[in-house]
Structure 1
Amino acid sequence: MIRVLVADDEDLVRVALASLLGLELDLEVVVLAADGPSAVAAALAHRPDVAVVDLVMPGLDGFAVTAELGRVLPSCAVVVLTGHGKAPHPYRALATGVKGLLPKGSPAGALADVIRRVHAGGRYLDPAVSATALLPPTCPLTPRELEVLRQAQHDTPVAEIARRMGLAGGTVRNYLSAAVTKLGASGRSDAFTTAQDNGWL
């Protein structure tokens, strides 16, 4: 019998999940929790094999709960359920130790199957969520900032960029400064490399 904890801040969802999982002959829901801290406390008290936790909860989100359980109860595998908003990047899930990641809108039997898989030592990342890792991140730069950054390749002097683009030197410096800031880069060369690596140039 696989012992399961269910944590969700919505009463209806929490009870419904527990009821559905209770229909599975090899699963037993041993405790429910309504927020992140109580999920960790309940896991320590009841020592479930698998914790099913909502991504968005008060106190600690699903990833924080996962990281904490990895520290205090590493024998408990964690499955995180995501809502209808933007899915989290799978790298973040894996970095915190999540064993299963799937949307709340998944078929009823899918969650039970994922619980069995992670209990057996496997992992499961929903294909739609995993696909986000293959998409380039959204470019935060304006077309003009990108063009100035493109012209700044090879440390081209600001005066030369200004001449090529028909802009004032101060305007070019402003565009470059904005690009560096938005990309969290150490300088314009680093900003250029970041933009190029992300496929924006």
Structure 2
Amino acid sequence: MIRVLLADDQALVRGALAAVLRLEPDIDVVAEVGTGTEVPAAAQRTAPDIALLDVQMPGRDGLAVAADLQRALPGCRTIICTTFSRPGYLVRAMSAGAAGYVVKDSPPEQLVDAIRRVHAGLRFVDPALAAEALAGGASPLTEREADVLRATAEGGTVADIARALQLSPGTVRNHLSSAIGKTQARTRAEAARLAEANGWL
């Protein structure tokens, strides 16, 4: 049996995924949780083979949890299952140690196939998203530029961002200027929106 842990903050979606997976003779859903912070304890308790994680969840997001699980439970492989079909998220998920990436509007058979493939030691990526990611390339932002844009998305002045990130206001302005240029935005708010839409933040 393939032991699966489900983590999704939407109870209806989580329940539907569990119901679909329980129809398969070789898959056993051993845990269902609604926040990223619940995943490590549930994984330690149930020893899943596969953790099926949403990207955006309360507490810790699925990408951070995937990295945590890779360190804490290397025998548990992670599949991201999300509504976000963005190349940037795919790249970040793979960098965090995820072995699979499935978009929620995929047919149920594709999710089941992904679980079986990942359990067998392979990788699985939604084919359309993989093609888009290869065509679009990686995030053009440096890690610090992404940090500054995340802080920008939360609001605040340049001085607020500088204090929060322990940088000088001049350094923040330089990072913002570079990020605006790389995203081809007109303002820092637009740059933050574009970077978020592409999954770079």
After TM superposition, the score normalised by the length of structure 1 is 0.66
**1:88, 1:34 → 2: CA distance?**
24
Q: Secondary structure at the match of 1:135?
A: helix
Asked if 1 retains the 8 angstrom alpha-carbon contact of 2:7 and 2:54, the reply is yes
Which residue number corresponds to residue 77 of structure 1? Answer: 77
Change beyond 3 A, Cα 1:98–1:181: closer
Write the letter of the residue equivalent to 2:6: V
8 Å Cα contact 2:63/2:96 also seen in 1: yes
Number of the residue aligned with 2:109: 109
For each residue in 1:170-199, what CA deviation from the matched residue of structure 2 results, as whole angstroms up to 9, or x when unmatched?
xxxxxxxx9656347xxxxxxxxxxxxxxx
Identity score, percent: 46
Q: Output the CA distance in 2 between the equivalents of 1:18 and 1:75.
A: 21
Other-structure match for 1:26: 26
1:64 positional shift: 0.7
Q: Would you identify which runs of 4 or more consecutive aligned residues in structure 1 move more than 3 Å?
A: 84-89, 178-184
1:1-201 counterparts in 2 under 5 A?
A: 1-84=1-84, 86=86, 88-136=88-136, 180=178, 182-183=180-181
Q: Which amino acid aligns with 2:66?
A: T
Name the CA shift for 1:180/1:15 in 2 (closer, same or farther; >3 Å): closer
- Number of equivalenced pairs: 147
Aligned to 1:153: none
- Between stretches 114-123 and 53-62, larger displacement belongs to 53-62
Write the distance in 1 (CA, Å) between the matches of 2:100 and 2:134. 19
Q: Distance in 2 between matches of 1:181 and 1:20?
A: 42
Q: What is the distance in 2 between the residues matched to 1:22 and 1:124?
A: 20
TM-score normalised to structure 2 length: 0.66
Q: Kindly tell me: are residues 133 and 19 of structure 1, through their superposed partners in 2, closer, same or farther at Cα, counting changes over 3 Å?
A: same
Is there any run of 5+ residues in structure 2 with no aligned partner, and where? 141-175, 183-201
Gaps of 5+ in 1: 141-177, 185-201
